Homo-oligomer: A and B are copies of this chain.
Amino acid sequence: MARKYNFYAGPSTLPFEVLKELEKDLVDYQGSGLSLVETSHRSKEYDEVHFSVINGIKSLLDVPDDYEVLLLGGGATLQFSMIPQNLLGDKSSVDFVVSGTWAKKALADAKLYAEANVLWDGKDGAYTSLPSPADLKPNAESAYLHITSNETINGVQWKDFPESDIPVVADMSSDILSRPLPVDRFGLIYAGAQKNLAPAGVTMVIIRKDMINRAPEKLGAYLKYKTHADKDSLYNTPPVFPIWAMSKVLKWIEGKGGLEGIQELNSRKASLLYGVIDNTDGFYNCPVDKDVRSHMNVVFTLKNEELQDEFLKGASQRDMLGLKGHRSVGGCRASIYNAMPLEGVQALADYMKEFAKKNG
């Protein structure tokens, strides 16, 4: 096969080694005579995988003992409404930083259940910047402060996080496990799997234990974090395949030197691309403030917009896929999550230089 470089924003590339391991065991799981995806979720075989994921996340992120790791379905989109329903408690308001498309989606759902104070909105700058964490003044009466650690469409990423007297809740769908994280500064962290964790279909939630019991009585069983926490995320049948894949992704990250190793690799990859963008005499432009440029989603435009189609076509001919920017903002975007190899980014950087030289 000719494996291509997959720069899609999500679902996104998986480590090739992980795909090969899944393939090897897909029909006959470790000689058990069954596939893991058709094995009872109460079986010894699945149990081992399930807890290796929960414990693997705890280990990689150094999750403190007063937090639970949950594995849920429904995507981060379901979390947008589960979070206010579970965490509002006796409060009536929540605080938000609106950093881009995904923060707006989280805000829209929160507004259905609570009064929402927008502490900062990047609208005037077309979502190309972020506030300084120290400048944020959360309301003491709010149930939590919600942030989005990385915006896939706008290409901004928090480099440091707010210190806050009220719990910080973060959507980390697009940069979870891309760097070490001070988990103890958050009340709740959530992440859909399909960027850095696994194929789509499972969502990881890390929640501080004292926040689990804030939910009202009248909330459906699946919608309550307590339901899942009490049963180690085995209250109902979990999404077996993505959890199995995640168990392999976590081991792959360990093999890369854990989150320090991955962060170093991600920095090198991001520097390669931003280096080309900033050093081709304005042929390319990244609109994002330099100090909050995402290491996961590198957004850029071509000064001569008429060349964009040719640029994308040439990339595709060189087996580099998914470089078109999101339809809502246009331009180009290279999503370079954990599993994108350095070679793929190098190939893109080389092509970008070559294309600029030829057309500049």
Chain A contacts to B: CB under 8 angstroms: 1-4, 6, 8-14, 16, 19-20, 22-23, 26-28, 31-35, 37-41, 43, 72-78, 80-82, 85, 105, 108-109, 112-113, 192, 194, 199-202, 217-223, 235-242, 245, 319, 321-322
Contact A112 B34, CB 8 Å, known A201-B241, A239-B201: no
- Among B20, B37, B74, point to the contact of A78 (Cβ < 8 A): B74
Looking at chain A's contact residues, is the secondary structure mostly helix, strand, loop, or mixed? loop
With a CB–CB cut-off of 8 A, which chain B residues contact A85? 220
**Besides the known contacts A14-B37, A200-B239, 6 further A-B residue pairs in the complex with CB atoms under 8 A apart:** A11-B40, A23-B27, A33-B319, A37-B245, A73-B73, A113-B218
A169 nearest CB across to chain B (Å) = 15
Q: How far is the CB of A190 from chain B (nearest CB, A)?
A: 13
Q: Copies per complex?
A: 2
- Whether B33 pairs with A78 at a CB distance below 8 angstroms is no
Shortest distance between the CB of A27 and any CB in chain B (Å): 5
Kindly report which residue of chain B lies nearest to residue A335, judged by CB atoms.
B40
Is the Cβ of A12 less than 8 Å from the Cβ of B33?
no
Residues on the B chain within 8 Å of A13, using CB: 34, 38
Q: How far is the CA of A203 from the CA of B80 in the complex (A)?
A: 20
Residues of B within 8 A of A235 (CB): 77
Choose from B23, B41, B200, B237 the contact partner of A238 (Cβ within 8 Å): B200
Q: In the bound complex, do residue B22 and residue A26 qualify as a contact, i.e. CB atoms below 8 Å apart?
A: yes
For A20, the chain B residues whose CB sits under 8 A away are 27
* Neighbouring B residues of A321 by C-beta, 8 Å: 33-34
Closest to A319 in B: B33
Complex contacts, A108 vs chain B, CB 8 Å: 221
Q: Please, which residue of chain B has its CB at the minimum distance from the CB of A75? A: B236
Q: Tell me the complex Cα distance, A33–B3, Å.
A: 4
| Residues of B with C-beta under 8 A to A201 | 73, 201-202, 239-242
- Contact (Cβ within 8 A) B26 A19: yes
Cβ contact of A31, chosen from B1, B12, B199, B241, cutoff 8 A: B1
CB within 8 A of A192: which of B28, B32, B237?
B237
Contacts of A238 in B (CB 8 A): 200
Cβ contact within 8 Å between A80 and B221:
yes
CB distance from A93 to the nearest CB of B (A): 16
